[in-house]
Structure 1
Amino acid sequence: MVIEYVGQTIRQVIADMREKRYEDEGIGSSYMFRIAQDAIIDATKCGNLARFINHSCNPNCYAKIITVESQKKIVIYSRQPISINEEITYDYKFPLEDEKIPCLCGAGSCRGSLN
């Protein structure tokens, strides 16, 4: 285990409203991670360092949703030993959509998009 991705658990309708509000406020990036059909962890304003972990098509970590005392949690685990000063990355596994989000991970096996 590397770190838990923490934030506030919200429903999809709230996530949609917050995403719009964050855009209107000029925040730019929101840090939301889906844990179930209608449950999302919003780490935008009350998260920890896990929200800053970048995507990679060839990551050294992976995210796993686990249940602890009936609460779903997101935990980032390492795939391999991680060296000092090595960037921690995982595959965001965004759903496929028509509008592609460019990937800039630089991996030799880069898919070209996050979705």
Structure 2
Amino acid sequence: MVIEYVGQLIRQVIADMREQRYEEEGIGSSYLFRVDQDTIIDATKWGNLARFINHSCNPNCYAKIITVESQKKIVIYSRQPISVNEEITYDYKFPIEETKIPCLCGADSCRGSLN
């Protein structure tokens, strides 16, 4: 285990409203991570350092949803030993959409987009 992705647990309708509000307020990035169909963790204003972990198409970590005392949590685990000063990354696995988000990870196996 590397770190838990923490923030406020919210429903989809609230996530949609917050995402729009964040854009209107000029907040450049929102940190919304889907747990399941009904639940999203919003780490935009109340998260920890896990929200700053970058995407890579060839990551050294992965995100896993676990249940602790009937509450779902997102935990980042390492795939391999991670050296001091090595960047921690995981595959965001965004859903496939028509409008592509360019990927800049630089991996030899880069897919070219996050979705």
TM norm structure 1: 1.00
Output one character per residue of 1:56-93: Cα deviation in whole Å (capped at 9) or x when no partner: 00000000000000000000000000000000000000
User: What root-mean-square deviation, in Å, do the aligned CA atoms of Structure 1 and Structure 2 show?
Assistant: 0.3
**CA distance in 2 between partners of 1:57 and 1:14 (Å):** 30
Q: Please, which runs of 5 or more residues in structure 1 have no aligned partner?
A: none
**Who is 2:24 aligned against?**
24
Identity, % of aligned positions:
89
- Partner amino acid, structure 1, of 2:106: G
TM norm structure 2: 1.00
Poorly superposed stretches of 4+, deviation over 2 Å: none
Q: Does the residue aligned with 2:110 lie in a helix, a strand or coil? A: coil
Matches within 5 A, 1:44-55: 44-55=44-55
**Who is 1:9 aligned against?**
9
**CA distance in 2 between partners of 1:70 and 1:98 (Å):** 36
Q: Please, which runs of 5 or more residues in structure 2 have no aligned partner?
A: none
Matches within 5 A, 1:89-104: 89-104=89-104
| Cα deviation, residue 37, structure 1 | 0.2
The aligned length equals 115
